[in-house]
A and B are shown apart, each in its own frame.
Chain A
Amino acid sequence: KQEVTQIPAALSVPEGENLVLNCSFTDSAIYNLQWFRQDPGKGLTSLLLIQSSQREQTSGRLNASLDKSSGRSTLYIAASQPGDSATYLCAVTSDRGSTLGRLYFGRGTQLTVWP
């Protein structure tokens, strides 16, 4: 069964720091990997989607990389701001027959950026 782990569980940094969030998964049979942001009491907002054939995706100050063979992804946030404070979730889409198309989530990294 696919298991997704995110490290660290929580992170508190001063404004302006560059930071890295880590995600690992146990089954490399994935179709894509997605990073989400969740604000308290809200739904999930998709930040970046990396297809299994890609190595990275960028959007503004965010850069996500994928190493499918080693089962790892990182989300890099440049020049962090207080508005980046949220929980960041990593999810992989299964490419395995019996669970094709299902998403498996990590438990998230709770990020606090203080001024």
Chain B
Amino acid sequence: DIVMTQSPLSLPVTPGEPASISCRSSQSLLHVDEYNYLDWYLQKPGQSPQLLIYLGSIRASGVPDRFSGSGSGTDFTLRISRVEAEDVGVYFCMQALEIPPAFGQGTKLEIK
């Protein structure tokens, strides 16, 4: 099974500043169709997770363009260009290449 590892696990950020979360998979998530099957989810406090990014870099509908995803193979990054108060919560990466899907441990973003 593919194992997902995120870092850092805690991320205090000043509003307006950028933030970056790393996600590493134990196997390549690059499919023969040349897409990386890596999703990012945000779980805001008291809410269900919501899809932010799919196929490594494509923003889901309604996701602000301050969020971006990058990476390929086994190393991926979620970036927030300028953090806002509404961005607090736990960010999870998840491999969607094969069954069983696997989530990272989560990165808790908080406002300084």
Pairing of A with B: no
Chain A contacts to B: CB under 8 angstroms: none
